[in-house]
C-alpha cells in the first residue's frame, strides 16, 4: 500500500516536473518559426534603412527565418508605431526606433502612442554622430573660426540643416546655446539643398549626418570642423568633437534600436537581444556600418530604454527653448 502510493506520487511528481520544464521555454524554443517584420518609420535608401537591412540579413542567417524590413514613413513615426502596436505582442512585428522617436515626444502636441509605455526595448543597433562642415573655399577652416566670427558679427552667419524639428536642426539649436552664439538656422527640404546652399555661401556651415556629407568631404569640397559625440569619430580621425573645438558642453549621439510591442514575452526579447548583440559584433557588419558613419553596437534592453528616456527629456527642452511650434 505504502509502496504503491509512493510510486504513484513519484510518477505524478516526475510528470509535473517534466511538464513544467517543457512549458517554460516553449515559446523560446520555437521562436522564430515564421518571418519577422521590422517596421521602419522612414523611406528606402536612408541611413536607417540601409542599417536595418544589413542587420535584418544577418538576423535571418542567425535565427533561420527571414527578417523583412518594411518602410512605413510618416510624420513623427506615427504610422510605423501604429502598425506595430496593432500587431500581436509575439515578437513577429518589431519597431525600429531612433532618436527621432524621442524628438517626436516633444515636437507633437499629442502622439497617439507612448514610446516608453507602449513598447518593450530589445537592443540598440547603432550610434552615430552629427558632423559640422564648412565650405573649403570659405574663410572658416575650423569650428573656432566660425564661433569667433559669429560672436563678432551676431546674427550674420547662417547654419543650414534639414527641416525644422529634425535631429540635425535641433542639434544646431543646441549648438547655438552651448557655444553662446547668435546665428540664423536655415532649414532646407533636403540635405542636398542644404549642401548647395553651403557651396553658394547662402549658409556658412551645415549640420548633417556623415552619410550625406561623405562625398563632399572626400572630394575636399567641405571641411569637417566638428563631430557631435563625446569622442573623435573613427571615420574622421583628426576632426575634434564640438566640445573640444570650443562649442561648449555640446553632445549629440544619434541612435537606432529595435523595440517590440509591450507585452512581448521576456524569453522572445532575450532571444532577439542575444542574436542582435552577436550580429552587431560581426566585423563585417561593423565595417560596413562604419562606412556610413555608424558605430554598430548592441545594448541591453535597460540601456537603450535609459537612452530613450534621457533623449526625450533633452530634446523636449531644446524644442521649448528654440520656440519651435508643436505639430
Running DSSP on this structure, what letter comes out for residue 241?
A: B
pLDDT at res. 28: 52
pLDDT at res. 185: 96
User: Which residues lie below 8 Å from residue 228, measured CB to CB, with a gap of 6+?
Assistant: 129, 130, 131, 132, 171, 241, 242, 250, 251, 252, 253
Q: Which of 71, 36, 48 minimizes the C-alpha distance to 296?
A: 48
- Confidence (pTM): 0.83
For residue range 12-46, list pLDDT tens digits in order: 444 444 444 444 344 456 899 999 999 998 888 77
- H-assigned helices in 219-294: 266-280, 283-290
pLDDT at res. 1: 42
pLDDT at res. 47: 76
What residue ranges define each of the domains in the chain, with the CATH number in brackets? 33-127+253-322 (3.40.190.150), 129-227 (3.40.190.10)
User: Which residues lie below 8 Å from residue 252, measured CB to CB, with a gap of 6+?
Assistant: 129, 130, 167, 171, 174, 228, 229
For residue range 101-148, list pLDDT tens digits in order: 999 999 998 889 999 999 999 999 999 999 999 999 999 999 999 999
The stretches in the chain having pLDDT less than 50 are 1-27
CB 60 within 8 A of CB 53: no
pLDDT at res. 48: 81
pLDDT at res. 19: 42
Rounded Cα distance between 262 and 274, Å, is 19
pLDDT at res. 29: 62
CB 147 within 8 A of CB 181: yes
Amino acid at each position: 500500500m505504502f509502496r504503491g502510493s509512493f510510486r504513484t506520487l513519484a510518477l505524478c511528481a516526475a510528470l509535473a516536473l517534466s511538464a513544467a520544464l517543457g512549458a517554460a521555454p516553449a515559446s523560446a524554443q520555437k521562436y522564430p518559426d515564421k518571418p519577422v517584420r521590422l517596421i521602419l518609420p522612414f523611406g528606402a535608401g536612408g541611413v536607417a534603412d540601409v542599417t536595418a537591412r544589413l542587420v535584418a540579413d544577418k538576423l535571418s542567417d542567425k535565427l533561420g527565418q527571414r527578417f523583412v524590413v518594411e518602410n512605413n514613413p510618416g510624420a513623427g513615426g506615427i504610422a510605423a508605431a501604429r502598425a506595430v502596436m496593432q500587431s500581436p505582442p509575439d515578437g513577429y512585428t518589431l519597431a525600429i526606433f531612433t532618436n527621432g522617436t524621442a524628438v517626436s515626444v516633444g515636437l507633437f502636441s499629442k502622439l497617439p502612442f507612448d514610446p516608453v509605455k507602449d513598447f518593450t526595448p530589445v537592443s540598440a543597433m547603432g550610434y552615430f554622430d552629427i558632423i559640422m562642415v564648412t565650405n573649403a573655399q570659405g574663410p572658416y577652416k575650423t569650428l573656432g573660426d566660425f564661433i569667433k566670427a559669429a560672436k563678432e558679427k551676431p546674427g550674420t552667419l547662417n547654419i543650414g540643416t534639414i527641416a525644422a524639428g529634425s535631429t540635425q536642426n535641433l542639434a544646431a539649436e543646441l549648438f547655438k546655446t552651448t557655444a553662446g552664439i547668435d546665428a540664423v538656422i536655415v532649414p532646407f527640404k533636403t540635405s542636398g539643398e542644404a549642401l548647395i546652399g553651403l557651396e553658394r555661401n547662402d549658409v556658412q556651415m551645415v549640420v548633417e549626418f556623415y552619410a550625406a556629407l561623405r562625398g563632399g568631404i572626400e572630394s575636399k569640397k567641405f571641411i569637417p570642423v566638428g563631430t557631435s559625440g563625446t569622442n573623435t569619430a573613427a571615420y574622421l580621425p583628426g576632426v575634434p568633437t564640438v566640445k573640444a573645438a570650443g562649442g561648449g558642453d555640446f553632445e549629440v549621439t544619434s541612435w537606432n534600436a529595435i523595440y517590440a510591442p509591450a507585452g512581448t514575452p521576456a524569453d522572445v526579447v532575450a532571444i532577439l537581444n542575444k542574436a542582435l548583440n552577436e550580429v552587431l559584433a560581426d566585423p563585417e557588419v561593423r565595417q560596413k556600418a562604419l562606412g556610413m558613419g555608424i558605430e554598430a553596437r548592441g545594448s541591453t534592453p535597460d540601456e537603450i530604454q535609459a537612452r530613450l528616456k534621457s533623449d526625450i527629456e533633452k530634446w523636449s527642452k531644446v524644442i521649448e527653448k528654440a520656440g519651435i511650434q508643436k505639430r
